[in-house]
Amino acid sequence: MERSTSGWINGLIGVIIFSGSLPATRVAVQAFDPVFLTVARAGIAGLVGVGLLLGFRQRRPAAGDLGSLAIVALGVVVGFPLLTALALQHVTSAHSIVFIGLLPLATAIFGVIRGGERPKPAFWAFSLAGSLLVAGFALAQGGTASPLGDGLMLAAIIVCGLGYAEGAKLSRRLGGWQVISWALVLSLPLMAVLCVVYWPASFAAVTAPAWLSLGYVALFSMLIGFVFWYRGLAQGGIAAVGQLQLLQPFFGLALAAGLLGEAVTPAMLLVTVAVIGCVAGARRFGK
């Protein structure tokens, strides 16, 4: 299979997995403190990462890679999960789609700064158009507005875009699952300490959906999704494959319709088709 095509397939799988992250976080944060939720999900994923690295006898990263791994850890292990968990105490998961629509653009910008990529001008036009479509659609759906929540989501998008681009660059040398595993391991000592500090007095009030949501964001959002996502970015290009994130809100709509019986309006379908067109255009001009 052509490397570029493989990159888009892996990236698409990663996006599908990530599409459940914000709704799951929204459920979990109703029962868990945001800081505890962040360190617990990273701690669980970190322990699995240790097992993978030991089981497959992976060599330690070079000293020169530690700085990049620290950026990945700060961006996607700590920064994005914590900032979104805090934000989702003030805004709905639907409102947060406004900012997820900006994530592909942020990833592309950091792909240029950190990854040395140089997409064509037409790529930026498709990327901006797709971001505006998703943000406009989300705003049209309404939702609560909170300056604090919006500020936290904007900060989350910036650090996540940096973590995505840095991890993709490093994946070209270390491999996708190795990068996220080493980033989780690097964070594990701090996560373990904070987990003890923020350990709840009781779990009696924690519901089954909250436990399932914690499991999802720990294993899928924090680890399994990145196995495909970083591989996809490394193979197909950070800026180009990053545009697949524009589809993330619409995968959420499809899940809601299929599993919860929620209605999908003609407007949703129209915007989805338009966004797919933007993603196709970004793929063509992304390299």
pLDDT at 263: 62
DSSP state, residue 218: I
Distance CA 273, CA 261 (A): 21
pLDDT at 246: 86
For residue 267, how many other CB atoms are within 10 A of its CB?
Answer: 11
Dump the DSSP string for 58-107.
PPPPPGGGHHHHHHHIIIIIIIHHHHHHHHTTTS-HHHHHHHHTTHHHHH
**CA angle at 96 for the pair 253 and 19, rounded to the nearest 5°:** 40
Distance CA 271, CA 278 (A): 11
Match 């338009």 to its residue by tokens. 274
For residue 190, how many other CB atoms are within 10 A of its CB?
Answer: 15
* Helix (H), strand (E) counts: the chain: 15, 0
Q: pLDDT grade, residue 188 (50/70/90)? A: very high
Distance CA 151, CA 174 (A): 34
Single-letter code of the amino acid located at 56: F
- What is the rounded average pLDDT for all residues in the chain? 88
pLDDT at 144: 54
Range 122-137 average pLDDT: 87
Where does residue 199 fall: left (phi above 0), alpha (psi -120 to 50 degrees), or beta otherwise? beta
pLDDT at 267: 75
For the chain, percent of residues with pLDDT exceeding 90: 60
List the one residue out of 150, 266, 235, 217 whose CA is nearest residue 244: 235
- Which is more confidently placed, 102 or 110? 110
Least confident of 14-23, 94-103, 168-177, 183-192: 94-103
Least confident of 5-9, 152-156, 277-281: 277-281
pLDDT at 228: 96
Orientation of helix 80-87 relative to helix 34-55, angle to 10°: 150
Residue 259 has pLDDT above 60, yes or no: no
Q: pLDDT grade, residue 261 (50/70/90)? A: low
Q: pLDDT grade, residue 4 (50/70/90)? A: confident
> CB within 8 A of 43, min separation 6: which ones?
188, 191, 192, 195
Q: pLDDT grade, residue 264 (50/70/90)? A: low
The sign one gets for the Cα dihedral 84, 89, 90, 96 is positive
Match 């797919």 to its residue by tokens. 276
Two structure tokens written together for 41? 């999900």
**249 contacts 42 by C-beta, under 8 angstroms:** no
Range 196-211 average pLDDT: 95
Range 75-91 average pLDDT: 92
Dump the DSSP string for 165-189.
HHHHHHHHHH-HHHHHHHHHHHHHH
Range 74-98 average pLDDT: 86
Q: pLDDT grade, residue 238 (50/70/90)? A: very high
Least confident of 6-15, 16-25, 106-115: 16-25
> CB within 8 A of 86, min separation 6: which ones?
34, 152
Residue 27 has pLDDT above 90, yes or no: no
pLDDT at 94: 66
pLDDT at 197: 96
